[in-house]
Structure 1
């Protein structure tokens, strides 16, 4: 039903009644499997599992479960349904965040963006929360100052340390995570630096090393050729170049940082002598 899809895939029976749907039509939709009856007074499309779970539990989606509603960056899908409700109780497969404190979504059973982000900051691992906040702040959907103002006090020190990693501009999840790891490693970096003959690069580390973080689009044939030419021009211009991909940045950041530091050490030491070619006669 188009009406239910426009409302996120799950609605209350009262909504359907107000929209003019007769009880017989609703019953027929349930009988044919087009619509699911979650519990008394709650109906959902078969694919709207999280929304129907929230409504069925008498709550609204929040935290990681609400990220798709607000088009927020994430690193993984939620392993439980995160909800907000007035009277939290222990329920299997649900993570309850208590009452919402800010204006809610206008029509979906979802809390407002402010509550979604604040819950994520207190609930998720730091980098998972960081990418959600970065995407919201970067899009102009919420102010970083607003979040700081609601995370004061000694108990919120860890949350503020996550907010400190938000940057003015990040074009991808990889960029914000790489920036966080480089900063934590004490590396001197500049972001979105324009280099003559190359264009804008993601990072310039210690003024000598170009680091690019490449998403899936960089695997396209045209992009591969373009990136290789950019590498060549960077080297001709006197820069070192390293490229990292999703798996490197998200799953192996320690190895990425170690490689960057190793290249910088070589640069500071004037490089290393080339390995001597074998002098043995070729058979």
Structure 2
């Protein structure tokens, strides 16, 4: 499931840049910018500024999650922040807020279920409304299952939100129980379901390649044992008849090269994936012998990996 043809949408880097634009200000910052106390009050009355809480003002365009986090007394972080910039997160049903240790007068809302994060790995930067990306990624490891956390970490690397070296530094500061995840991170995963599919293939012990380019077909998500193509389909990227036509044309082109294609749905991978694994094991058992000497991929973005 590729996100390569996404030119009309903002990239993760663009969304992150927008999120960290100054949209929340202290009263002192507004006064330093040339506004008097009276002009601040007038701007609030006109709707040009929103008074969130004592000493915090926001532009009207500020996202609601950000306003809610600042109103509590912190900054948006963890899964909420990562979702807002387009990093893959399996589930995010609550507002995640970074609260500086020692903070008081927190204003928790009965309408919004919140998760407060008190752990701060580094000094707090100047942004008043959003935690540093590294802090949000660290929090996301605590807040998710290992499988879900790995999908988020893959997405962070794939979208170049952080480098591998930066992730390694981050994990060095986390409890030892989390560090095994770092060895499993793979930036080639172009979507969350691809991470879950990779974990299934690892558990099966088969040989596979990721993001393989086939002449006349294009990039495919996985090639297993040199003959079985696996494409991880989701509603977001495979909806509509036109897309269905393209996928079928790609499958026929792959078949002409000697490949078999299967397309498990994202919802099957994100939930209980037992049925997917069993189906793949049966397909490989029934058809694998016929393709022992079959075609092998001509080009791969990654080294061939045998698990």
Same fold by TM (over 0.5)? yes
- Aligned with 1:120: secondary structure? helix
1:253 aligns with 2:267: no
1:162 aligns with 2:181: yes
Alpha-carbon distance change, 154 to 112 in structure 1, aligned in 2, over 3 angstroms: closer
CA distance in 1, matches of 2:21, 2:211: 39
Normalised to the residue count of structure 2, the TM-score between the two structures is 0.72
How far has the Cα of 1:239 moved from its partner?
Answer: 2.0
1:75 aligns with 2:90: yes
Residue by residue, what CA displacement relative to the aligned partner does 1:139-158 show, whole Å, maximum 9, x if unpaired?
3332324433443599423x
Query: Which residue, 138, 146, 149 being the options, matches 1:118?
Result: 138
- Please give the residue correspondences for 1:175-186 in structure 2 after superposition, counting only pairs within 5 Å: 175-186=194-205
How far has the Cα of 1:97 moved from its partner?
Answer: 2.3
Tell me which of the two structures has the higher relative contact order, counting C-alpha pairs closer than 8 angstroms and 6 or more residues apart.
Answer: 2
8 Å contact kept, 1:191–1:202: yes
CA distance in 2, matches of 1:269, 1:71: 42
Alpha-carbon distance change, 99 to 238 in structure 1, aligned in 2, over 3 angstroms: closer
Q: Which residue of 2 aligns with 1:277?
A: none
CA distance in 2, matches of 1:151, 1:196: 39
8 Å contact kept, 1:170–1:176: yes
8 Å contact kept, 1:34–1:46: no
Q: Between Structure 1 and Structure 2, whose CA radius of gyration is higher?
A: 1
CA distance in 1, matches of 2:57, 2:174: 43
1:202 aligns with 2:221: yes
Equivalent pairs counted in the alignment come to 266
Normalised to the residue count of structure 1, the TM-score between the two structures is 0.78
Residue by residue, what CA displacement relative to the aligned partner does 1:103-156 show, whole Å, maximum 9, x if unpaired?
555535222222221121122222332233222222333232443344359942
CA distance in 1, matches of 2:173, 2:93: 29
CA distance in 2, matches of 1:263, 1:213: 16
Query: Which residue, 248, 251, 255 being the options, matches 1:231?
Result: 251
8 Å contact kept, 1:118–1:147: no
Query: Which residue, 44, 50, 54 being the options, matches 1:40?
Result: 54
- Aligned with 1:77: secondary structure? coil
How far has the Cα of 1:87 moved from its partner?
Answer: 1.9
- Aligned with 1:151: secondary structure? helix
CA distance in 2, matches of 1:69, 1:126: 21
8 Å contact kept, 1:64–1:82: no
8 Å contact kept, 1:88–1:97: no
Q: Which stretches in structure 1 are left out of the alignment for 5+ residues?
A: 272-283
Query: Which residue, 26, 30, 47 being the options, matches 1:16?
Result: 30
Report the aligned-residue RMSD.
3.2
